[in-house]
Structure 1
Amino acid sequence: MAAIAQSMRRSAIGLGLFAVITGGTIAVTQVATEERIKQQAARAEAKALFEIIPESRHTNDLLRDTVQLPASERLALPDPLTVWVARQDDRPIGMIMPIVASAGYSGNIYLLVGVDMQGTILGVRVTSHRETPGLGDRIETKKSDWIKSFDGRSLGEPPHREWAVKKNGGQFDQFTGATITPRAVVKAVQKALIYFRENRRVIRERLNEAPSQRNEALKPEAIAGESSNTEHS
């Protein structure tokens, strides 16, 4: 009996050690995987920033030059809203703000919207979404040029009522089999322009202040962490 009990204890200890080692390996792998995902997201979002406002159009460090703006329920982001500022010879020429289209077919759609000092769109890019592959994912530039249809638009162009997909009487194309996704993006971009108009004075004052002095360039995922507690892929 004593031998059996001793054998059982050894088996239990062995199983315990195996569980500890296995659990530790899984935890380390998970942390490493999450870090790689964050790095990939940061590179993708930084690429999107320079697609919206190319380096040839500004003379400052776009990733380092950031400003905090008033919170806005319109953008589905809490206080503070941190934006990237583009400058030419220290003069602000535009900004890029992170926004959320909360009415996507499969959840939140995370966007970057570039706006010049007159409220005209410089560009829009999607940074994260869970929309249906082959349908809603046409909001990505690698799938179609649809997202570029916002370039040069403003609150007056098109008129307010035409800020919608064509199915709803607007000027923006919808996708075959996926109307909800483009509709959500159109409304979110329009809300970003309304935010700019409503806060124009404050925005101009903040953007004309001295550039933020950070020791390191502020990466897109850092701003996402500051402005939203919602985890997204």
Structure 2
Amino acid sequence: MSEPTLPPLAPPTAFGLSVRTALTMLAFTMAFTALMAGTYLATRDTIDASAEQEKLRLINDILPPVSYDNALLRDAVTLDTAPELGLPKGATIWRARKGDAPVALVMEAVAPDGYSGKIRLVLAVMHDGSLGGVRVVEHRETPGLGDYIDPKKDKNKTAPWIGQFAALAGSDWKVRKDGGAIEYRAGATISARAVTNAVARAAAFARADQDRLFRQGVQP
């Protein structure tokens, strides 16, 4: 007697194919997510340390490391809003000290009126009210014209434009065209004025509130 034959398998339905495809994609997504999460956890400390080193390098461009001895990046105060700095959603201000004595406030600021939009800055205001220095960290000013505000783009490497701010007093925080001490390049007054005015506002804010800012919060 011959063996019974099994009926042929029914072809997969569209629903079945969709389910199988969905399960395959889900498994792939879960595996990829787990891989990415594992990579992030494995490299997070290295990434954080690198970001801190870069931030500290930038700060040390405007504030000599020998002028302070505290862990500056951990001695900070956070403000919920700082319109004087062009930061309505809040700001972090780092406090430099030496032997527990106040040395300088380091802060970010934004000039809203650059020729091509916002210009982001970082500056140090010394405890005597003078400027330690200023750096432009982000801008969209015209290449070859207004971008000299950024020392990386300034063709004058021996005396970049931004270096004028170091040690300036309050009465000088204007471009020469407005009666101040800051020189500007022909054809690019708007960029220089935007940076200068933002620096003046931020420095005036720091000078007026420095005692409160140094006391606020807990010193690490």
Both structures adopt the same fold (TM-score exceeding 0.5): yes
Paired amino acid for 2:148? R
Computing the radius of gyration from Cα coordinates, the structure with the larger value is 2
Q: Does residue 112 of the first structure (1) align with residue 122 of the second (2)?
A: yes
The share of aligned pairs that are identical, in percent, is 36
Distance 2:218 2:147 in 1: 36
**Deviation per CA, 1:119-177, whole angstroms, max 9, x where unpaired?**
1101101111111222222112233311110111121346xxxx1243x4443222233
- SS of 2:192's equivalent in the other structure is helix
Distance 2:56 2:138 in 1: 13
Paired amino acid for 1:206? L
Give how far 1:79 is off: 5.0
Change (3 A) 1:122 1:129: same
**TM-score normalised per structure 1:** 0.66
Paired amino acid for 2:190? I
Change (3 A) 1:187 1:39: farther
Change (3 A) 1:184 1:206: closer
Change (3 A) 1:179 1:165: same
Give how far 1:181 is off: 0.9
**Which of residues 155, 164, 182 in structure 1 aligns to 2:170?**
155
Does structure 2 conserve the Cα–Cα contact (< 8 Å) formed by 1:164 and 1:171? yes
| Equivalent position of 2:213 in the other structure | 206
| Equivalent position of 1:224 in the other structure | none
Give how far 1:212 is off: 4.2
Does structure 1 conserve the Cα–Cα contact (< 8 Å) formed by 2:172 and 2:180? no
Change (3 A) 1:88 1:99: same
Paired amino acid for 2:211? R
Distance 2:53 2:98 in 1: 24
Distance 1:53 1:121 in 2: 9
**Which of residues 130, 148, 167 in structure 2 aligns to 1:138?**
148
- By relative contact order (CA 8 Å, sep 6+), the higher-ranking structure is 1
Distance 1:142 1:135 in 2: 14
Distance 2:65 2:119 in 1: 26
